[in-house]
Amino acid sequence: MNTVYNENVTGMILAGGKARRMGGIDKGLIKINGQAMIQYVLDVLKPQVKQILINANRNVSEYKKFGYPVISDQLEDFQGPLAGIAASMEVAKTKYICTCPCDGPLIARDLISRLFSEVSKTNDIKIAVAYDGKRLQPVYALIDCELLTNLIDYLKSGERKIDRWYTQHNFKAVDFSDRQDCFININTPEDQQTISQQLATK
């Protein structure tokens, strides 16, 4: 399936975490084959969406160099992906945002169209989440921005679990079992080497 430009969707790249398993290195800025990891995500996401936002809480000036608005969490101390999602929903000018992580450079070129096809089938579906055939991939999700107030209330209650918030809504798990490779991310130096080899063959 070809990539689809979709005027209803803002792409939002999550680069706001601490990357504890990588020793605190800012994963989006790690170079893979001479290019920052987030650039691979940007290149694939750009043709699929109306606008792009980057959620980052450190190295903000570095992320701004990629040419897109950088949105930081309103909550302090790295409160998880939902904090970044809420901050981005507040500034997005489209009905939906689609989230993806900065450390997933093998992102699917039809991510948006496959997720969007599910939410567009009925007004009851407000969230579409990628499913790799074994488990949900919760940071690859299309979310209706009308849920912003509900999400803010959820965060104010002290909750941070992304999966738990999804279950409070009528969400759809979208089958990506044919593309399990696109959810490989980098948490170890070994992962970095594996992805480097895969990107070199594309």
Would you kindly state where each structural domain of the chain is located, as residue ranges? Answer: 9-200
- Distance from C-alpha of 43 to C-alpha of 77, rounded to nearest angstrom: 30
What is the torsional sign of CA 30, 27, 4, 197? Answer: positive
Q: For 113-138, write each residue's pLDDT tens digit.
A: 999 999 888 888 999 999 999 999 99
- Asked if 40 contacts 66 with a C-beta cutoff of 8 angstroms, the reply is no
pLDDT for 3 equals: 46
**So what's the architecture of 9-200 in CATH?**
Alpha-Beta Complex (3.90)
**pLDDT confidence band for 149 (50 / 70 / 90):** very high
Considering the chain, what percentage of its residues have pLDDT values greater than 70? 88
pLDDT for 1 equals: 38
Determine how many CB atoms are found less than 10 A away from the CB of residue 25. Answer: 12
The more confident residue out of 119 and 165 is: 165
pLDDT at 80 exceeding the cut of 90 = no
pLDDT for 2 equals: 41
pLDDT for 125 equals: 93
CA distances from 60 to 12, 28, 69, 73, 139 (A): 15, 11, 10, 12, 21
pLDDT for 69 equals: 97
- Asked if 53 contacts 68 with a C-beta cutoff of 8 angstroms, the reply is yes
Average the pLDDT over 46-51 and give the result. Answer: 93
Instruction: Name the one residue in this structure whose structure tokens are 């909550």.
Output: 75
Query: How many residues are there in the chain?
Result: 202
Average the pLDDT over 22-31 and give the result. Answer: 76
Which phi and psi angles does 182 have, rounded to 5°? Answer: -75, -5
How do strand 70-71 and strand 51-56 relate by DSSP bridges? parallel
